Amino acid sequence: MVTVNNSDYYNNIPAGRDLNNLPNTSSADTTVGYQYDGLTEEDRFVQKVLQEHYDKVYKENLSHSDPMAYIESKYCDVTSPNFCSYMTEDQRSIAYRNEKRMLQTGGKYSAGFARYDYALRNYKDVYTGGSRSVGYVRNTDREKQYARSAVNQQISNLLSKNGISISKQADLVFSIDPYTYQLTVSGNADRDTLSQIEKLLNEGDNAKNIWTHAWICMHDADNEIVNSQANMTKANQYSLWHEVYETTGYDARNATYKNGTFIAEDGTDLLALFKEKSKNGAGYELYSKRWLEYAKNGWKKENDLVLKIGFDSSGLYDIGQEKGYGAAQNMWMKGVSQSMFEARV
């Protein structure tokens, strides 16, 4: 088992990560943001190990006069001297499928992340044993930390490029509107510096991407909200507003509830328009029902999902949660197993 000795592991950006890999929806003048791809660091490690393993085995199979017959002898014929009796049935099955598929596709590997694959047996942190029925917990904390490191570096580069330096005494707060994604900066820097930072972070989709990053970091590994700034009422109001706006082009906050529907300032029946333009019937049912529920009490400003995130000389830090991803907050992550995962992908 390989152990990582880098004590600053979680504050460094893994080599190989592309700082320019911004969210797919970002506008051309965006410089800050992180594209989450749904993979954890363990997923990437497993993918790398299995890719290397099956590439090697593919070449070995091709060295035989009848590669397919050789594969079958290893995994299907119990009488063959090549039979892999040391593997479980599940492991023989997945190896057989992977090697057969690679033979059929000319060496293209697309097997995924099976943690019970025999090729992973020496990597105890990711290997779940020989049965496909044994589950595992996906650790999303590392990915959030990598995202934080990337966003910190992007902000640092942006400020440095524009001649802005942050003193060690600086303590700022970024507040981001959930509808317009307008970012405002407050804190103990001079007014000109605050204004310059605010201007830069409102370029392109920078503020929107910082909001999204902060929101993702407010959830634990089970996707539960763990930040006092947020709750499901606010989250539902946020998603409702964006669904209505993106579908109809109207701001739901300005609509008036009348006779069982919502009327825009120009007289448009927004509920009817929403239904007409909704591409997903189930989505319309969900959001129209939620919208009508809001009609009982009106749109509450206190339920707007305005997010605040701190910023100092070490980068962004979380406000309102016990386990944060800031440089001075992430000591809790030191208890998360680091074995074998070097600071690279």
Residue extents of the structural domains in the chain: 9-39+139-225+305-335, 41-120, 232-303
Confidence (pLDDT) at 135 = 62
CA atoms within 13 A of residue 146's CA, in its CB half-sphere: 27
Confidence (pLDDT) at 38 = 65
What gap in Å lies between CA 114 and CA 53, rounded to an integer? Answer: 13
Closest-CA residue to 209 (of 21, 9, 15, 344): 21
pLDDT tens for the chain, 345 residues long, are 222 222 343 445 555 556 667 888 899 899 999 887 667 777 878 888 999 999 999 999 999 999 999 999 999 999 999 999 999 999 999 999 899 989 888 888 776 778 899 999 999 888 888 777 766 666 678 788 888 989 999 999 999 999 999 899 999 999 999 999 999 999 999 999 999 999 999 999 999 999 999 999 999 877 789 999 999 999 989 999 999 999 999 999 999 888 888 999 999 999 999 989 887 677 788 888 888 887 777 788 999 999 999 999 999 999 999 999 998 887 887 655 433 333 222
The three-point CA angle 233-238-239 to 5° equals 100
Confidence (pLDDT) at 188 = 94
Q: Is 48 helix (H, G, I), strand (E, B) or coil?
A: helix
Confidence (pLDDT) at 345 = 23
Confidence (pLDDT) at 122 = 92
Confidence (pLDDT) at 202 = 98
Confidence (pLDDT) at 95 = 93
Q: Where are the beta strands (DSSP E) in the chain?
A: 171-176, 183-187, 256-258, 261-263, 307-312, 315-318
Helix 232-248 and helix 281-295: axis angle, to 10°? Answer: 120
Confidence (pLDDT) at 113 = 74
Q: pTM above the 0.75 mark?
A: no
Tokens of 91: 């492991």
Confidence (pLDDT) at 293 = 83
Residue 130: Cβ-neighbour burial (10 angstroms; 0-12, 13-18, 19+) = middle
